[in-house]
Structure 1
Amino acid sequence: MATGYAATGGAAGHTAQTPLTGRRIAITGGTTGIGRATALLLAGEGAQIFTCGRDPEHLGDCLAAVRNAGGTIDGLALDLAHEGAVDRFFGAAEQAMGGIDVAVINAAVPASGLTEMDEAALRYAIAADFTAYLVSAWRAAAALSGKNGDIVLVGSMSAHVLGGHSTVYAGMKAGIAGFAEALRREMGGKGVRVGLVEPGLVGTDFQYPDIPADKQRAMIADEKMLRAEDIAVGIHYFLTQPRRTVVQQLVIVPRVNEE
């Protein structure tokens, strides 16, 4: 029996790839950093993108960049930490694209040590980085069940590299890691692939003000920090694998790792 990609006319030794052309992809937090790089890459391969971000100026810049590169994208400015915002985002995405095939759940805000935050900041971080993630996955699962869809959760190596100034963020990302593995098992029989991409240190706006732009550029040049595009390529890898496979967890870290 013929097997692999060669059976469909590809090169021997290669497996089949799932094409991105025409795929309808909702990306939360897609106006800066990893989300923006992912929108640019996937739109460049023919996917239709709908995204969101908190800053209208960043949203406009992202939409213009993708469109100028020949991609198809739309989106809206909103804060997913607010009640009802997740449903508003997915409703708008489904209306704009006629449904969704993929959800990349990426939107997040920085959080520091538990004793370094006041209650309001703590509650907001939980709403943005944990509650909105789970509600986004719930909304995506409802839209994708039985339709050969994909859910990609963008986590963080902070779930594993634990520091005293990252207790809140690390706790939430560790929770996302466990959630992603369990959700993969829950959704696999429903035709939905669920995977987790865990980046190491990435040069993005997310690092401000702790790591200013000039220091980020130097760290990237020294290969001690990743570019957002490196993570976008990982998400692309997950989405283009054969439907029979799931990239359950993909860890991407700088080659020169001082942790």
Structure 2
Amino acid sequence: MTDHTTTRPNGLLSGKVVFVSGASRGIGAAAARLFADEGAAVVLAARSTGSLQTVVSGIRDAGGTADAVALDLADPASIRAAVDRVGELHGRLDGAFNNGAAIQQPGPLDTTSDEDIDTQFAVNFRGHWVAMTAEAALMRHSGGGAIVNTSSIGSRRANPALPAYGAMKRALNSITETAAVTWAPEGIRVNGITPGGTATDMIAAWEAATPGITEQIDASVPLGRMARPEEVAEVAAWLLSDRASMVTGASIPVDGGAGA
């Protein structure tokens, strides 16, 4: 595992400008640190700017290049402004990791509130759609790029515990594939990752609401445990890199075999 003590001048993402949303914690924060370690200049976005600045400071202290920008994935204007800020800072965008996950109150479909449905739509579907189109517009200026969207194992099967979350993540899979085909002639690759249980604050909140869910998730994984955020970030880094130059329109499971 990377120790985050120095950047790699010849790393996987060396010389690239990469935008990361949801970067204040969990998978997003792990990705921000990893991408910087791999040589990228990262622009990090989240609603929690205090936590975000902590991540930025850590990257800079380790010799990396990082900036922070406020972002509300439920607000299209905020999304476009954040991507525009990348252009102001660096003049281009080579990669984007769209990593937002609104937390739904766990429960069956017939007790899911209108508010939960609206929140999932705004953040996990429309927010990614708006982000991708803004990112692609900036990428065209420098001849292309790569986008990775964080979906979920819950998008690939029935999801009785988190029905609105699963539904919007499945919709995200669809627009990921459509964007990949639409923008391929412009040199823009678009892929998704579908993590299974990952040891993040979202799982901690779910455990608080439904005690025992962590143990259940661990038991459902053939490898015997949830992923660490850094393990999920490694897959995103590869998809953003030139080593994945022929991969587009894919959804890569990162679930320890739970979806097999």
TM-score, normalised on structure 2? Answer: 0.83
**Of 49-58 and 138-147, the range deviating more from structure 2:** 138-147
Letter of the aligned partner of 2:17 in structure 1?
R
Measured after TM superposition, the shift of residue 216 of structure 1 is 5.8
Name 2:149's counterpart in structure 1: 153
> 2:29 aligned with 1:36, yes or no?
yes
> Is the Cα contact below 8 Å between 2:253 and 2:259 reproduced in 1?
no
Q: 1:82 aligns with which of 75, 82, 99?
A: 75
> 2:144 aligned with 1:143, yes or no?
no
> Is the Cα contact below 8 Å between 2:12 and 2:238 reproduced in 1?
no
Cα distance 1:205–1:243, how it changes in 2: closer, same or farther (>3 A)?
closer
TM-score, normalised on structure 1? Answer: 0.83
Q: Which has the larger radius of gyration?
A: 1
> 2:177 aligned with 1:176, yes or no?
no
Measured after TM superposition, the shift of residue 144 of structure 1 is 1.4
Q: Secondary structure at the match of 1:181?
A: helix
> 2:107 aligned with 1:120, yes or no?
no
Letter of the aligned partner of 1:224 in structure 2?
R
Measured after TM superposition, the shift of residue 186 of structure 1 is 0.9
- The number of residues matched between the two structures is 242
How far apart in 1 are the matches of 2:71 and 2:180? 28
Deviations 1:205-247 (A, max 9, x none): 12232226x9869959x83200001111101221234474115
Q: Secondary structure at the match of 1:64?
A: helix
> 2:45 aligned with 1:52, yes or no?
yes
How far apart in 2 are the matches of 1:119 and 1:258? 29
The gaps in structure 2 that reach 5 residues or longer are: 1-9
Name 2:252's counterpart in structure 1: 250
Measured after TM superposition, the shift of residue 92 of structure 1 is 1.3
**Of 236-245 and 99-108, the range deviating more from structure 2:** 236-245
Counterpart mapping for 1:148-227 below 5 A: 148-211=144-207, 219=218, 223-227=224-228
How far apart in 1 are the matches of 2:213 and 2:56? 28
